[in-house]
Structure 1
Amino acid sequence: MSETLQTTALQTTGAALDDADLLSRTAAAVRAAGAGLRERFGDVVPYRTRDELMRALADNDDTALGILRPALTRLRPDAGWVEDELDGGALPPGEWWVVDPAEGNVNHLHALPEWAVTATLVRENQPVLTAVHLPLTGETYTALTGGGAHLDGRPLHVSPTADLGLALVATSQARPDEDEEVVRRVGSSITAMLFGALVVRTAVPATLHLLNVAAGRIDAFWQFAGARADLLPGALLVAEAGGRISDAEGRPWTPRSESFLAAAPGVHAEAVKTLSR
């Protein structure tokens, strides 16, 4: 079969897929991209300037995107494409792939294990399905709207904790070079949570904390500022695992929101109260 006919056949197949089948194939795509990044993982990557750092980050992104973008485009040829992990706000109408080819890229460069590959299909500004692959553990987290959240096929459920004083909570830095107001708000929120919660974890990237909320390992995650790519996958996973998603003041969260909170239902209200002080 010629390359043109193969492409046409794949596009026709992709158009006929229901969302459950589409999620399965999306998960296969992030696993394949993760394998490419795993081959590049090992020693700390040296850099002396910001330009050298940005080139190293881009090399990782390009490796994963070279696998991920063709695979997802075949599944949904007419969907838009968003790969800027710092981009935010609402999307235009229609379907969009929101991907982070190397979520936690800076960790990868520093030979730290906390990194992943993510792909989320957004339809009319609502996440429909997501797949997050952790190449070093081989784990794949998936969620489908109305279909639950899973880890390698096993259902996920948020924590039953109902007392913030007994809760393990986490936060993350949304991006480097944040403005002073956001930095001070992050600092004050960590202080408030150190008084209110049992233990506070702080690290990047956001997605890995949100996987832990969905799996019931930690009880809440919050972040100020943020972007679509680092919050949409985890937001869908936590919601489908039975968690609550809002901004830090308890209002409905959208990609335009200035803050984000994902929590087990039993500690959500208390987390909102603590972050609003």
Structure 2
Amino acid sequence: MTEHDSHALRDLALRTAREAGDLILRLRDEGVVVAGTKSSEIDIVTRADQAAEALVRERLLDARPDDGMVGEEGDHLGGTSGVVWIVDPIDGTVNYLYGLPHFAVSIAAEVDGEVVAGVVVAPALALEYVATLGGGATCNGRPIQPRPTVPLGERLVGTGFSYEQPARAREATYISRLLPRVRDLRRLGSCALDLCAVASGTLDAYVEEGPHIWDHAAAGLVVLEAGGILQVARSPGDKRLLICAPEDGFAEFRAAVVDAGFVGGEGPDGPRESRE
């Protein structure tokens, strides 16, 4: 086992995500406590987010003390090994607050700028998505792949909305243009799980303005290894824009997204251009 063995990184991530998932379920049963807000008054962080990120940090860095870590709840730790862990302790915090099951722990291992292992664990749904670079993607241990591509008008598309009001106004305009061209839209509340849904065939495509690197680092590898494309572009509001679809249907879906106004003038950017 080498220092940067992707399978070892995957296994550590999965053990840690399972433990964090058990923790957040236990804390939810004890009563969700809102600890503060982030981008707006409706963009919340709970005590469980903070506790789960602390647990993840402890487990990962106890096992690999020379690694770095980037976490949604504030952990930005440098390292010397070349490995950086990208962590969202609860992707779908508002769902978690309301008792909805669509939330997940997301952990990705990045080696010298490339994600080589990723896990997305949804404890309330009993779903575990796992991928290693070049090693395929699974859900609960079984290989997954996207749904066969259908005409654009028959595609079920996932999306999400910002918690910042000016961005919401823009996004409503984009969505109003895209909705008549597809079967329907779903706003399920977790970027990571929506991407995994494309990877496993329960959504046909996904587009969202505003996710952060921790929202999609692990799930993006799941998409890639399952046979899909995740493109990171910029929106007209200069926010990160995610466009995701199976390989053979990606170009047509991206063209519809562009026509709807989602994409700004700079074209696609790499996923590491910003940690925002």
TM-score range, shorter chain: 0.7 to 0.9
TM-score in terms of structure 1 length: 0.80
Q: Deviations over 1:119-177 (max 9, x none)?
A: 1011222211111111113221101111111112111101112311111111012x422
Match of 1:224 among 209, 215, 240: 209
Q: Is the 8 A contact 1:222 1:262 kept in 2?
A: yes
Query: Of the candidates 159, 162, 168, which is equivalent to residue 171 of structure 1?
Result: 159
Give the superposition deviation at 1:189: 2.4
- Hey, what's the Cα distance between the residues in 2 that align with 1:55 and 1:186? 17
Structure 2 contact 37–45 (Cα < 8 Å) conserved = no
Question: How far did residue 67 of structure 1 move?
Answer: 2.4
The structure 2 residue matched to 1:268, chosen from 250, 271, 275, is 250
Which structure 2 residues correspond to residues 36-55 of structure 1 after superposition, within 5 A? 36-42=23-29, 45=32
Of 145, 151, 154, the residue aligned with 2:133 is 145
Q: What is the match of residue 23 of structure 1?
A: 10
Aligned to 1:253: none
Structure 1 or 2: more strand by fraction? 2
The two structures have a TM-score, normalised by structure 2, of 0.80
Deviation, 1:64, is 1.2
SS at match of 2:62: helix
CA distance change for structure 1 residues 93 and 169 in 2, over 3 Å: closer, same or farther?
farther
Alignment equivalent of 1:103, drawn from 88, 91, 110: 91
Contact 2:118 2:131 in 1 (8 A): yes
Aligned: 1:241 with 2:229: no
User: What is the rounded CA distance, in whole Å, between the counterparts of 2:86 and 2:106 in structure 1?
Assistant: 8
Q: 2:62 aligns with which of 52, 66, 74?
A: 74
**Deviations 1:15-57, CA, capped at 9 Å, x for gaps:** 6572112212210110011101111224874779959x89983
- Mapped to 2, the partners of 1:237 and 1:80 lie a distance apart of 22
Question: Cα RMSD over matched residues?
Answer: 3.2
**Whole-angstrom distance in 2 between the partners of 1:76 and 1:46:** 31
Structure 1 unaligned blocks of 5 or more: 1-12, 250-255
CA distance in structure 1 between the aligned counterparts of 2:231 and 2:20, rounded to whole angstroms: 31
Which deviates more from structure 2 when the two are superposed, residues 127-136 or residues 240-249?
240-249
Does the 8 Å contact 2:34/2:46 carry over to 1?
no
**Percent identity between the two aligned chains:** 28
Select the structure that is richer in helix. Answer: 1
